[in-house]
């Protein structure tokens, strides 16, 4: 089963397009967890226990774990062990380098950590992406148009009469021979999201920028999903994880995640059923 099929199966089994970003800032963890030997790990465990039935994926931004120093490897692996097998895991490292270096990145993310998918920067071209594509069961979300304001600096520049992000989307479509490529497109760019979906009608789109970045959720569902109302992975992080700083943080996270999942479902019903 290729990654696209695996993702679609997860979204159907979970009845959800929601992804929670476990990008944990140790300074924002509720104070009572500081008494635990591994506060970040305990925080992740409780968030996952409270929300795993509401999501199709969890995304770990690796920078938040690498900054933990020597504890990083253990924290990532143990966090992943808490996540049910039916839920996809995304290692958000935005890697991409010359071929032999990318091979090592791919080995770390897919074999050592065991992520189901990762994010890759295509700036250095196909040979920097290819090592991530070898296992058809593993997903590769290529950066197309990111949610940050600086995305305009390069991603919107014209190349051959088309913006670079459209060139990336077209290249991803060409490279997707194993049906394991997706694209990262920010929810802060709904018009462009629609054009990218037209170029790539049947590949997964990882859509960050919802919540604290004020991305357009309704447009993200409408233009980010494929014709079946699936294959959009709608990522929410801080607004779920930090919905409470008190001892009720896990139940508060569940309430926020439930609200977001149900709103996504409502838009799915409106646009696709």
Burial class of residue 56 in the structure, from the number of CB atoms within 10 Å of its CB (0-12 exposed, 13-18 middle, 19+ buried): buried
Contact yes or no for 262/249 (Cβ under 8 A): no
The total number of residues written for the chain in this structure: 273
Catalytic residue among 45, 59, 94, 178: 94
User: How many C-beta atoms lie closer than 10 Å to residue 170's C-beta?
Assistant: 14
- To which H or E segment does residue 228 belong? none
CA pair distance 72, 74, nearest whole angstrom: 6
74 in active site: no
CA pair distance 207, 265, nearest whole angstrom: 16
* Residue 120: φ, ψ to 5°: -135, 135
Query: CA separation (Å) from 226 to 143, 205, 221, 229, 267?
Result: 18, 9, 9, 5, 13
Helix axes 39-51, 249-272, angle to 10 degrees: 40
CA pair distance 137, 65, nearest whole angstrom: 25
CA pair distance 20, 83, nearest whole angstrom: 12
Residues classed as catalytic: 94
């Amino acid at each position: 089963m290729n990654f696209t099929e695996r993702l679609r199966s997860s979204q159907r089994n979970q009845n959800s397009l929601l992804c929670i970003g476990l990008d944990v800032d140790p300074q924002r963890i509720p104070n009572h967890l500081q008494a635990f030997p591994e506060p970040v790990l305990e925080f992740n465990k409780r968030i996952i226990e409270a929300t795993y039935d509401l999501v199709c994926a969890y995304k770990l931004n690796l920078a938040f774990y690498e900054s933990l120093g020597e504890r990083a490897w253990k924290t990532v692996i143990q966090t992943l062990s808490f996540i049910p097998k039916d839920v996809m895991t995304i290692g958000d490292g935005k890697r991409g380098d010359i071929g032999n270096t990318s091979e090592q990145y791919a080995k770390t993310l897919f074999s050592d950590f065991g992520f189901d998918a990762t994010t890759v920067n295509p700036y250095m071209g196909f040979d920097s992406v290819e090592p991530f594509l070898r296992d058809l069961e593993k997903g590769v979300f290529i950066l197309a148009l990111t949610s940050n304001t600086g995305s305009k600096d390069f991603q919107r520049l014209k190349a051959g009469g088309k913006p670079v992000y459209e060139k990336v989307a077209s290249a991803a479509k060409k490279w997707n021979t194993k049906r394991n490529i997706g694209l990262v497109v920010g929810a802060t760019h709904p018009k462009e999201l629609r054009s990218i979906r037209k170029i790539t009608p049947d590949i997964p789109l990882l859509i960050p920028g919802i919540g604290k970045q004020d991305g357009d959720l309704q447009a993200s569902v409408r233009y980010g999903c494929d014709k079946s109302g699936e294959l959009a992975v709608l990522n929410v992080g801080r607004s779920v994880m930090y919905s409470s700083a008190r001892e009720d943080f896990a139940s508060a996270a569940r309430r926020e995640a439930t609200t977001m999942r149900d709103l996504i479902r409502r838009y799915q019903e409106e646009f696709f059923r």
